[in-house]
A and B are shown apart, each in its own frame.
Chain A
């Protein structure tokens, strides 16, 4: 433990001093000429004091730079390990700053000395630690200092004031208290870092050997999700960095639009920004980079367009294309073990849609139990409800009325109506009337000549009993989607009034029966009129597995349904990226000007995707990518990374295909997002809205 030289250091290091011996050198609190020696003392202290480096370095840096202040350094500027002394030296910090500033300006120093001679002359270097620490407070409280000056009424001071750097002016307060502003390089850094952090986060889930993430919600119950899906991971993150939010957003949009490639789009955008950062450090203007990226993206898209395969004409081949796409999509998910089984299911389901992209018609029912392999596709419709007691469990040639009506107590809807009676008999009468009303309704419903009645709302015991008497199957409380889907499937209309039985369209199906899946009873409608809808029943060991399986299947279904409309396909396994990279590289060679650097960077970013896929699979990415690049030098090469065998292989032979639409969306949205982030040169964060606790 070294002896701190001055009183002030003494105070600064309050805790240390308790065990420390008395200061060896005690500076007399005196004249300005000593400030130099004070500086040297501080230096010696620094040499001696090896263990307390951070503080000393902070003070040392400051003393070197002199009073240069970088505004709003934010969290970075605060000396990390600096603990303020328990009691600050008598005058509040801003005044030190003032003294210091004025001294540097060599004006009016004598007055300041008069005010508080000891501290001023003691060791200015130490003040700087202080001063630095309190820059934020200085910004806001330059006003008392100015008041003090005008109190003195010294004109010279006023002159001095006007010559002070802008710092002392109240302009630092153009924003509200908690708002902050980051400019230029720093803003760019902040957004690059944020975006790259997000990209790195999901990077390890990319590819067939990608790993999963566990997400634990902060809500009650801390429910856990295990997933590999980029969009799901990003959706559940609480992100504060605005640039990172842009990436989360594009991933979400990718999910909505094409359903798959949510990880790739973020990884590509992250790589583009990583490359851009390097270019910016080598003094290339962001606008030039953007221009280069745009050209490169255009060129990459053209390169893909040249190599697409379109098998729309040949139905059989198209189907096998779809199978391959589905398998490629599924192989990176939890379903990869049974990918053929699930691919088959997904393709069948999508073919039933006959070109529509309305995935609502495909119902996914999750039932824990069994194994993933037990999952199956059912061409009918399955409703997760129970059949009322005493009603037939099996109906052939069913006529179904799908309804949305109250079957509990049919309220009088006229406003302000209420029952007011004066005797018990009347109550009974009215109750009777109510019952009569319900009976009427049931009779009307029965007049449709149906043998199955499905209602969205509850059915009370009384009407249920009536239905059972009539031998009609009544299903209550089907959710809204179930109702809509059932309407869609059976071709019936959703009815709410029952006065004209002849004109209401009824739904039809060949057979309604109760089936058992695992422990649960479900109602199965088969032989429905409209062949569009179907149900997929997923079985699996736990809810987590089922949830993830559903997400994976959803991805596959989305991609397939989009591919049915846009039947162009590409090879997978890093093949498209290599093709694009090659073309883009060639463009870079042809382009004159600084843009060519950006174009080259774009191609590097593209190559990063196969690199990541290989890395995630634990392969030697450098070796593989180099080999891949060499192979791609020959025209019409189909080489890609075969993760299973861990080598470069022919993607066509391996049957690894991807949809063109997905790749295109990945390319364009990633470029757009990178461009958006690159264009930013200032970030302004508003003060967070105050939450009033009214709870």
Chain B
């Protein structure tokens, strides 16, 4: 490590305890960072595409996760390297923003880094490479905009949406019944979509899973599903035309926040207190009854006596419902969450056409369906599957499909998948490169080459000859000047992605390119890494 001396020859301390720190500088730092980034991308590379493989994780507590979703893989990985963490962040931001293409973005960034390394070896300054990439990404994004196609759909004709969701689902383990899952996802999104504003609030879609049954039993419920049962085993299991009181106060005697003591010193006081207590319960139940509620949903527990009183007065109740679920129920049924019994009014009750309890399997598992809600905006996707890992993975896949459907409602432009978009961008960027004088030209060409790596990985994972396939598709695209040709991953026999119905959203693809470029730029700009070697 460099030592600095003042004019009298005494050494300065620039870095405290420098013996214990590792420092990488200049080209070494860049190389090391690139290598780290590449290592992460290499892990994900084999998960890309419909024939991609899964990763298995064993968590810190011995729990097992199996996933194909890029964001999940990276999140589960116990990453410690700073640059690797950047890649994790990258995939996460794609997940937040778009929800799909989380694997693709990391593979893309890895490819860009690999190309950058080659340029560095040629002696091109990292900043120039970064600038070249920036220019190239702009070209690519503009090109995508040009080739994108709008496609029309409405509430009745949602077939195109289903097709796009199927593209997303085909790379997951659930591709056995991708058709039905895609339909469920699209129907769910359409049910909650605000087509006027072209917006979808995904919070209104709840995804619930329960182990058991088959994947084919997965269903869409126009309503809410709560993993709870009636508080008293003998309450009715089915309520039609329910008026729901949504409470956040317990069926218990009031507990003032201020500290107090009630002293009992005479028999009379004891008697009155006893009477009062009984009255409390009675009043509480009576209030619910008075406003016309036929079902009580409460965030807290009930006292045994209250429970029986409710049962006795024929007022079914559910206890210990979580806060989030309570909110969803309130939204769906158009009710208000009531914090005090005194504030209960008939207007604050939620309404639902049907509330029923359903039991599953041989074990005592029950769930509560709240259907035909007044405000049918909230829906639930209820997943069944062979085991817990399967359900978790299905949840993630459904989430991806939901995001895709939402993106299409926001912006109905699509590009073609199967690597077609990357190949045509690569061609466009390559053509544009020649127009730029200066060193950036090389970087732009490198960008084009990096774009090729996505279809290349697709072909590789599908068991095709990567170079051969890619060059064939590329020449076909140039010859016929049509940007629809991609890699035939499923061995259907055609390269035309229109025929195969493989679509991706335009914004998803654009975001992938932009995010990957940004992160690569950031990594390239780092020229000094100082870290504590003891960790």
Contact = CB atoms under 8 A, between A and B. Distances in A.
Interface stretch (A48-56, A170-178, A332-340): A170-178
B79 interface: yes
A169 interface: yes
A433 B388 CA distance: 56
A415 B81 contact: no
Given A683-B57, A686-B57, A162 B28 contact: yes
Interface in B385-404: 386-390
Given A258-B362, A418-B262, A429-B267, A169 B32 contact: yes
Given A176-B79, A246-B389, A415-B256, A503 B312 contact: yes
Contacts of B274: 412, 437
Interface in B44-85: 46, 51, 53-62, 64, 66, 68, 76-81, 84
B270 interface: yes
Interface string B256-271: 1001111111110011
Interface string B359-376: 101111000000000000
B482 interface: no
A675 interface: yes
A250 interface: yes
A264 to B, nearest CB: 15
A87 B265 CA distance: 81
A177 B46 contact: no
A632 B463 CA distance: 38
Interface stretch (A16-24, A492-500, A574-582): A492-500
Interface string A563-593: 0000000000000000000000000000000
Contact of A419 (B28, B77, B264, B387): B264
| B contact residues, range | 35 or more
B525 interface: no
B415 to A, nearest CB: 26
A22 B53 CA distance: 58
A162 B27 contact: yes
A491 B215 CA distance: 38
B43 interface: yes
A177 B80 contact: yes
Interface stretch (B34-42, B182-190, B344-352): B34-42
Given A175-B78, A415-B254, A417-B262, A245 B64 contact: yes
Interface stretch (A196-204, A286-294, A516-524, A540-548): A286-294
A415 B265 contact: no
B362 to A, nearest CB: 5
Contacts of A433: 267, 270-271
A305 interface: no
Given A404-B304, A672-B390, A161 B28 contact: yes
Contacts of B254: 415
Contacts of A421: 264-265
A67 B265 CA distance: 89
A680 B66 contact: yes
B211 interface: yes
Interface in A409-426: 412-422, 426
B270 to A, nearest CB: 5
B357 to A, nearest CB: 12
Contacts of B267: 429-430, 432-433
A494 B311 CA distance: 9
A558 B303 CA distance: 35
A668 B40 CA distance: 35
Interface string A129-163: 00000000000000110110011000000100110
A166 to B, nearest CB: 6
B64 A405 contact: no
A290 to B, nearest CB: 9
B252 interface: yes
Contacts of A250: 386-387
Contacts of B319: none
A174 B80 contact: yes
Contacts of B40: 174
Given A158-B28, A256-B362, A412-B277, A684 B60 contact: no
Contacts of B362: 256-259, 357, 359, 558, 561-562
Interface string A671-695: 0110110011111111111000000
Contacts of A187: 56
Contact of A287 (B36, B214, B386, B463): B463
Interface in A242-268: 242-243, 245-246, 249-250, 252-253, 256-259
B266 A676 contact: no
A242 B51 CA distance: 22
B273 interface: yes
Interface in A637-680: 668-669, 672-673, 675-676, 679-680
B1 interface: yes
A243 B56 contact: yes
A645 to B, nearest CB: 34
A420 B263 contact: yes
Contacts of B304: 404-405, 496
Contacts of B462: 287
A124 interface: no
Given A171-B32, A176-B80, A256-B211, A682 B56 contact: yes
Interface in B201-222: 211-214
A416 B262 contact: yes
A249 B271 contact: no
A234 to B, nearest CB: 13
A144 B35 contact: no
A415 B31 CA distance: 67
B295 interface: no
Given A405-B305, A493-B311, A686 B58 contact: yes
Contacts of A686: 57-60, 76, 78
Nearest to B176: A294
A421 B51 CA distance: 80
Interface in B1-48: 1, 22-25, 27-28, 31-32, 35-36, 38-40, 43, 46
Most buried by A among B32, B64, B276: B64
A516 B187 CA distance: 61
Contacts of A503: 312
A504 interface: yes
Contact of B266 (A245, A429, A681): A429
A457 to B, nearest CB: 9
Contacts of B51: 287
Contacts of B60: 686-689
A504 B312 CA distance: 7
Given A246-B387, A253-B212, A494-B308, A682 B46 contact: yes
B172 to A, nearest CB: 10
A269 B66 CA distance: 17
A285 interface: yes
A144 B24 CA distance: 11
Contacts of A169: 31-32, 35-36
A418 B28 contact: no
A93 interface: no
25 contacts: A143-B22, A144-B533, A147-B1, A166-B35, A170-B24, A170-B81, A177-B535, A246-B387, A414-B253, A414-B262, A417-B264, A418-B264, A420-B263, A422-B265, A426-B266, A434-B270, A488-B233, A493-B234, A495-B312, A496-B308, A496-B309, A497-B281, A676-B389, A682-B43, A684-B55
What are the 9 A-B residue pairs with the smallest beta carbon separation, nearest first?
Answer: A496-B308, A681-B53, A689-B60, A179-B78, A143-B22, A174-B84, A679-B54, A174-B81, A417-B262
Interface of B: 1, 22-25, 27-28, 31-32, 35-36, 38-40, 43, 46, 51, 53-62, 64, 66, 68, 76-81, 84, 173, 176, 211-214, 232-234, 252-256, 259-267, 270-271, 273-274, 276-278, 280-281, 303-305, 307-309, 311-312, 359, 361-364, 386-390, 462-463, 533, 535
Given A170-B32, A415-B255, A680-B66, 8 more contacts: A166-B35, A170-B36, A171-B35, A179-B80, A256-B361, A429-B266, A495-B312, A686-B58
